Structure 1
Amino acid sequence: MPFINPEDGHLTVLNLFKTDTRARVDTLVKEMKAIVDTAAFPGWISSTVHRGEQNPGTANFIQWRGMQDLETRYNDSEFKHHTVPVFREITTFVRLMQTEVDSSRRHPALGGVTEVSPGRDDYTVIEILGVDPAEQGALTATLAGAHSWLVDVPGYRSQSVLRGIRSRNLEGGEGTLATVGADNDFVVVYSQWDGKDSYDAFRTQADAQWSSARRGFQDRRNSLITSADWNSYRAVHTRSAEQPVTV
């Protein structure tokens, strides 16, 4: 099963898709599963498909050996002439985000490294935070520090912070990709909870009930970000390369 570990040195690609109906989510999941089940791309390590819970959409958490392997995939004829047209047809929003894992922490009771798997019952939340590239390091450090007080929040399991490198969408024309924004202008937070109720209680807790540590964190985070978007997910399908890929 895939693991989130900054020491692995993988290029982590998070493909985020939004759509307008639950029925189209079914189609998205079906198409993504088909790609994952036949993946044999040089440098590909693993893919884990997530189905949107809070809002219609999907996310694919993909690990690659490095940037050149990903670019080879993007330049492939099948990707340009089949994959891109299919996903343009059934989505309302696409963002293909290249990242590297900056930190990954778990509740002390869990130990080990963070596992991404449909075999677990995690309620997963993915946040995309916009940031001025010059402030990206400050934001990742601030987010990583949240673990110190999140361990006291009921239902919290893990938090992984991924430093954004480059973001793209499907609007390049003729099956090519277009760059979105500037390099290093976003950060991804991938967190796991024991269920929707725990996460909702945390997210909707009144400001007056926040701990001083959470209040300080929230103020610092808000001073650094330029935008914020999130959705909740369940991992529904995963597959890894049969032979280990050397990074």
Structure 2
Amino acid sequence: MPLISPDDGYLTVFNLFETETREGQERVVDEMKDIIDKATYPGWISSTVHAGVDTPGTLNYIQWRDLAALEARYAGERFKNKTVPLFNELATSVRLLKTEVEFTQHHPGLGESIEISPKRDDYAVFILLSVEPENQKELLDTLAKPDEWLKTVPGYRSHTYYRGLDGTFVVNYAQWESKELYDAFHTLPEEERPADVREGRVRARSLATSRWANSFRAVHSRSAEL
């Protein structure tokens, strides 16, 4: 089962696909399932396909041993001549984000680790923050730190911050009990948040140049036999 940990040293890749319809989303999910079930790539650790909830789209959460293993996969003729054209045809936009885990936090009730699995019922929120390379570290320093108040918020399960390898973005992948509880947190008036949290949010907004978000549910997962 895929686990999120800053200690494993894995490269985490987010494959984001946007589609205009739910039918298009399902086609991408089906193609992703087929690829994952046949995966035997050297250095591949795991893949977990997520289906869009709020907006049509697909997220594939992929763990690789290192960047060299990923680049070897991309250099393959089948990937370049079959896989890439297929998904460019199926999706209205395709983004491939190479990252490293910088910080994780989870509710004590989850146990010792953060698991990603279709066997769970997590409402997964994906937030992509664009940033100028010279400000990426400060943005991470502002956001990627312990937040004890968040553990008291109804529905909170976990959140993880990732550093984009090219320096131009930061990702937040969070797990919540339900859409309703996440929406209640997301729309909570600023004055009801702790002062240090409010200050961090203001600073993060000043550093980020854009924000993109969608919500997902994991629908299929497979890990390599290590």
Whether TM exceeds 0.5 here: the answer is yes
Amino acid at match of 1:142: T
Corresponding residue of 1:203: 186
TM-score by length of 1: 0.89
CA contact (8 A) 1:14 1:98 kept: yes
Amino acid at match of 2:154: P
Deviation at 1:142, TM superposition (A): 1.7
Q: Deviations over 1:155-201 (max 9, x none)?
A: 11101011101xxxxxxxxxxxxxxxxx2110110000000100011
> Is 2:136 the partner of 1:153?
no
CA contact (8 A) 2:143 2:204 kept: yes
Aligned mates of 2:89, 2:70 — CA distance in 1: 23
CA contact (8 A) 1:149 1:213 kept: no
SS for the counterpart of 1:23 is: helix
CA contact (8 A) 1:146 1:214 kept: no
More moved, 126-135 vs 24-33 = 126-135
Structure 1 unaligned residues grouped into runs of 5+? 166-182
Aligned mates of 2:160, 2:173 — CA distance in 1: 5
Corresponding residue of 1:103: 103
Q: Deviations over 1:11-39 (max 9, x none)?
A: 11110110100100010100000010000
Amino acid at match of 1:235: A
Aligned mates of 1:95, 1:137 — CA distance in 2: 22
CA contact (8 A) 2:103 2:145 kept: no
SS for the counterpart of 2:167 is: coil
TM-score by length of 2: 0.97
CA contact (8 A) 2:121 2:177 kept: yes
Q: Percent of aligned positions with the same letter in both sequences?
A: 52
More moved, 92-101 vs 200-209 = 200-209
Aligned-residue Cα RMSD (Å) equals 1.1
Aligned mates of 2:103, 2:191 — CA distance in 1: 29
Q: Deviations over 1:78-132 (max 9, x none)?
A: 1111111110111111110100000111012223111111111110001000111
Moved over 6 A (4+): none
SS for the counterpart of 1:151 is: helix
Aligned mates of 1:231, 1:60 — CA distance in 2: 13
Total equivalences in the alignment:
226
Aligned mates of 2:223, 2:152 — CA distance in 1: 34
Deviation at 1:146, TM superposition (A): 5.8
1:170-185 mapped onto 2 (5 Å cutoff): 183-185=166-168
> Is 2:224 the partner of 1:241?
yes
Deviation at 1:149, TM superposition (A): 2.4
Deviation at 1:72, TM superposition (A): 0.9
CA contact (8 A) 1:46 1:64 kept: yes
Amino acid at match of 2:85: P
More moved, 44-53 vs 137-146 = 137-146
